[in-house]
């Protein structure tokens, strides 16, 4: 259904999709649309704003996801974010964690559609950027299409311009965040039906999507596909997406990716960034390849620690080449 280059996006993931991860992923895919991890409004308003919001132009297009429920704070954050050149501001209405609920962020806000509308309206008035939402199909015992349709309509009327739907409900009290990613059953048909109702609006599907064939099937029925864990745990899945979805055969090898990452590592570590903050995102680069175990074990023992240094990056590349040189070239 969608021919847009933003048809495939990387899901915002807490403690995962920081600026280092986004730079790394962009080395593999030139077409995927990237999202920040969720940033709480209080962090922007009271924390080190520059450190939190700065990113490399190389990452673009990239969206910032906000967490919050205070319309004034969200509005102020949108005004601030405007100056940083992001391509979109997304409101998190889907995270089910207890910590997030305690701060009145995420999926618990589905219980208060009027409050959500007030927040989105304030955000849309404060920024020139598109304001969008990421949410679920329902929560607790509320799991019916009429609720989802009404909730999306409420956010649309308030100013949301895109609707990213995780095709599971959120169980706010019974399950952990990890369990909420697996136990509630996927109901893609809710999202398909939503697109049938909102024909002229951008509907993105999310949840449990692991292979390019599934992506192709979803794109026949919705405008885009958002993927999280399947990419984070196996980043070179993006190479398949580039070839099979975007018809791009000019995809870098794993070796190319690491060689291009090294100058970034040099620059960032010269500024005081710890190497493990970057290299932890590369653990799954050789997933499914001979040499993958060598890569993961070496990273775990040597580079996902505080005192890791750049020389160890070159060493592990040599070790993987010896184990399976072919794995670096595909």
**Residues that are catalytic:** 95
Query: Among residues 194, 236, 230, which one has the least CA distance to residue 215?
Result: 230
Beta strands in 142-253 (DSSP E): 162-170, 202-206, 224-227
The total of other beta-carbon atoms located within 10 Å of residue 189's CB is 12
Preceding amide of 131 cis, omega within 30: no
User: What's the CA gap between 137 and 144, in Å, rounded?
Assistant: 8
User: What's the CA gap between 256 and 85, in Å, rounded?
Assistant: 28
Dihedral (C-alpha) 264, 269, 275, 278: value to the nearest 10 degrees?
Answer: -40
Report helix, strand and coil shares of the chain as percent, to nearest 5. 50, 15, 35
Most distant CA atoms of the chain, gap in Å? 60
User: What's the CA gap between 113 and 132, in Å, rounded?
Assistant: 15
């Amino acid at each position: 259904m969608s021919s847009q280059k933003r048809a495939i996006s990387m899901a915002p993931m807490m403690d995962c999709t920081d600026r280092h991860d986004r730079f790394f992923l962009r080395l593999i895919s030139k077409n995927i649309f990237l999202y920040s991890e969720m940033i709480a409004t209080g962090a922007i308003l009271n924390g080190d704003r520059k450190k939190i919001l700065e990113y490399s132009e190389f990452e673009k297009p990239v969206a910032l996801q906000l967490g919050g429920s205070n319309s004034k704070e969200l509005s102020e954050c949108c005004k601030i974010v405007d100056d940083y050149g992001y391509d979109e501001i997304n409101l998190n209405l889907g995270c089910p964690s207890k910590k997030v609920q305690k701060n009145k962020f995420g999926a618990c806000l589905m219980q208060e559609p009027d409050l959500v509308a007030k927040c989105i309206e304030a955000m849309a008035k404060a920024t020139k950027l598109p304001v969008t939402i990421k949410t679920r199909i329902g929560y607790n015992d509320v799991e019916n299409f009429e609720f989802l349709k009404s909730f999306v309509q409420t956010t649309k009327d308030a100013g949301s311009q895109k609707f990213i739907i995780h095709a599971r409900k959120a169980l706010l009290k019974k399950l952990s965040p990890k369990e909420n990613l697996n136990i509630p059953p996927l109901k893609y048909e809710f999202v398909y039906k939503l697109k049938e109702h909102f024909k002229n609006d951008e509907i993105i599907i999310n949840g449990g999507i692991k292979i390019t064939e599934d992506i192709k099937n979803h794109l026949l029925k919705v405008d885009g596909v958002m993927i999280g864990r399947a990419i984070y745990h196996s980043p070179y899945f993006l190479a398949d997406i580039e070839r099979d979805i975007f018809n791009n055969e000019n995809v870098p090898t794993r070796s190319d990716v690491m060689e291009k990452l090294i100058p970034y590592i040099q620059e960032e570590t010269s500024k005081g960034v710890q190497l493990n903050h970057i290299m932890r995102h590369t653990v799954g680069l050789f997933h499914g390849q001979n040499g993958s175990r060598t890569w993961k074990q070496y990273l775990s023992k040597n580079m996902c620690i505080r005192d890791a240094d750049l020389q160890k990056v070159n060493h592990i590349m040599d070790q993987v080449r010896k184990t399976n040189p072919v794995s670096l070239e595909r």
